[in-house]
Amino acid sequence: MNLDRLRPAILPVAAVVVALTIGAVIVAVDGSSPLGAATAIWVAAFSGPDAIGATLEKATPLVFAGLAVIVGVKAGLFNIGAQGQLLVGAITSAYAGYRFAGLSPLVHLPLCLLIGVVFGALPAWLAGVLRAKRGVHEVIVTIMLNTIIFNLTDWLAGGPWMEPGQVISRTPPIVGSARMGRVAGLPTGFVLAMLVTVAVWFMLEHTTFGFRLATVGANRHAAHYAGISVGAVTVAAMTLSGALAGLGGAVESLGVVGRFEPGFNAGLGFDGITIALLARVSPRAVVPAALFIGALRASSSELQAGAHVAPAIVDVVLGVALLLVAAPLLLRWLLRMPPSLSTAEVQFTRGWGS
């Protein structure tokens, strides 16, 4: 076993440990028992097949969202619109899931997933084109698209695509032929997430396309010199990023929620940014990072009911972990780690117009 390969994990793992410790202190100061909170997390997230299934379900869209952000970052693009793209994937696949009833599951489910992928990719493609052709910064475009998409999906779910005869804004339930169940006790969506993770890893590490993408991200002047089309790679990377986010949304609708309901998917795309950072922009580390966050998210009601801890503690822990990973110097100082263990800290985004 080559220990050097585990080196990049030291920083994120240390960040998580410190963040959990700080979380425990806050719980104690608040007058509750840190041990009780830990027990609640254990019970809710890991104690049996149901709990583990819940954790995996929570982790699934996070894996997709994390991969989406990573693909962008590798190409030097900060896709802050993963949230919006995920929503588009979620609502379009849900629509296809209740509207196209009567198809065989072999056709219906793949079709719904494909629709989620395509429509999720669409807004990201637009951001990529604007970036490549007009030099408009993708952060601005995706933030604005997020707002448009939030309102558009709200309107669709409460208007034209709303379940008839109901007062809640949500679509009708997705029919059985488009639902993702479980195989051997594992949620199908999670299995798909693992397969896609391997595919993204292979693409980035082993293919010429991945090399083009990484070269544009690392030095676009050198990419231009080497005959790589910076514009085409920018568009392709953004589109792929959106496709992954859209797939995450589709899996969430088809496998977990069973319909589209505004609010159910809130924050998943933004958690993707947290995961990309915790995973230090490495696809291999996305699944563990997503499981960690998934477990915390799965246990929020148990924390409240079982341990009388405000579920907001989960966000505090995630926020601290994120801060520590993003500001490695702070963590090194806290833990008295020697300076710069690895050659490069994660460079997450670049300056304006550079």
Partner 1 sequence: MSDSEEQPGADVVLEVRGLTKRFGPVVADSEVTLQLRRGEVLALLGENGAGKSTLVKMLVGLLRPDAGEIRIGGDVVRLRSPRDAIGRGIAVVHQHFQLVPVMTVAENVVLGAEPTRRGLFDHRKAAAEVRALSQRFGLAVEPDAVVQDLPIGMQQRVEIIKALYRGAEILILDEPTAVLTPVETDELLRIVAELAERGVGIIFITHKLREVMNGTDRVVVLRDGRVVGDVATADTDEAGLAALMVGRPVVLHVDKEPATPGATVLEIRGLEVDDDRGRLAVRGLDLDVRAGEILGIAGVQDNGQRELVEAICAMRPRRAGTVVLAGREVEGLDVRALHDLGVAHIPEDRDKHGLVGGYFVAENLVLNRFDQAPFSRWGRRDFAAIQRWARQLIADFDVRTPSVYARTDALSGGNKQKVVVARELSRESVLLVAAQPTRGVDVGSIEFIHQQLVAARDRGVAVLLVSAELEELFALSDRIAVIREGRVAAVLDAKSATRETVGLIMAGAAGH
Q: DSSP secondary structure string, 174-205?
A: PPGGG---EETTEEHHHHHHHHHHHHHHHHHH
CB of 229 to partner 1, least distance (A): 8
**Exposure string for 188-203, b = 16+ CB within 10 A, e = fewer:** bbbbbbbebbeebbeb
Q: Would you say 204 or 298 has its CB closer to partner 1?
A: 204
Please count the residues of this chain forming the interface with partner 1, following the rule CB under 8 A. 18
Helices 230-251 and 49-74 pack at an angle, to 10 degrees, of 170
Interatomic CA distance for residues 261 and 69, integer angstroms: 24
Task: Kindly indicate which of the ranges 143-151, 218-226, 274-282, 287-295 contains the residues binding partner 1, using the contact rule CB under 8 A.
Answer: 218-226
**Toward partner 1, which CB reaches closer, 304 or 349?**
349
Asked if 7 interacts with partner 1 (CB under 8 A), we say no
Contact status: 221 vs partner 1 (CB under 8 A)? yes
CB of 223 to partner 1, least distance (A): 8
Residue 134 binding partner 1, by CB under 8 A: no
3-class secondary structure for 41-53? HHHHHHCCHHHHH
Give the C-alpha separation, 227 to 212, whole Å.
10
Min CB(138)–partner 1 separation in Å: 21
- Please tell me the distance from the alpha carbon of residue 210 to that of residue 233, in angstroms, as a whole number: 10
In terms of Cβ atoms closer than 10 Å to its own Cβ (0-12, 13-18, 19+), residue 310 is middle
Minimum distance, C-beta of residue 233 to partner 1, in the bound complex (Å): 13
Closest CB 318 distance from partner 1, rounded Å: 29
Length of the chain as a residue count? 354
Q: Are 93 and 250 in contact (CB under 8 A)?
A: yes
- Closer to partner 1 by CB, 41 or 240: give it: 240
Q: Does 42 bind partner 1 (CB under 8 A)?
A: no
Residue 343 token pair: 């050659």
Residue number, 147 or 219, with CB nearest to partner 1: 219
From 30-38, 56-64, 179-187, 203-211, give the range in contact with partner 1 by CB under 8 A. Answer: 203-211
CB 72 within 8 A of CB 271: no
Q: Which of 107, 199, 218, 305 binds partner 1 (CB under 8 A)?
A: 218
**Minimum gap (Å) between residue 228 Cβ and partner 1:** 8
- Of 211, 264, 270, 348, the one binding partner 1 by CB under 8 A: 211
Q: Is 342 in the site for partner 1 (CB under 8 A)?
A: no
Of the residues 48, 160, 165, 227, which one makes contact with partner 1 according to CB under 8 A: 227
Mention every residue, 6+ apart, whose C-beta is less than 8 A from residue 90. 116, 153, 249, 250, 252, 253, 257, 260, 265
Pick the binder of partner 1 from 182, 224, 284, 308 (CB under 8 A): 224
Say if residues 183 and 56 touch (Cβ distance below 8 Å): no
Contact between 207 and partner 1 by CB under 8 A: the answer reads yes
SS3 assignment, position 264: coil
Report phi then psi at 30, rounded to 5: -75, -5
The least distance separating partner 1 from the CB of residue 323, rounded to whole angstroms, comes to: 25
Instruction: Tell me which of 46, 201, 209, 264 binds partner 1, using CB under 8 A.
Output: 209
- The region of 106-114, 159-167, 184-192, 216-224 touching partner 1 under the rule CB under 8 A is 216-224
Positions in the binding site for partner 1 (CB under 8 A): 206-209, 211-212, 215, 218-219, 221-222, 224-227, 229, 343-344
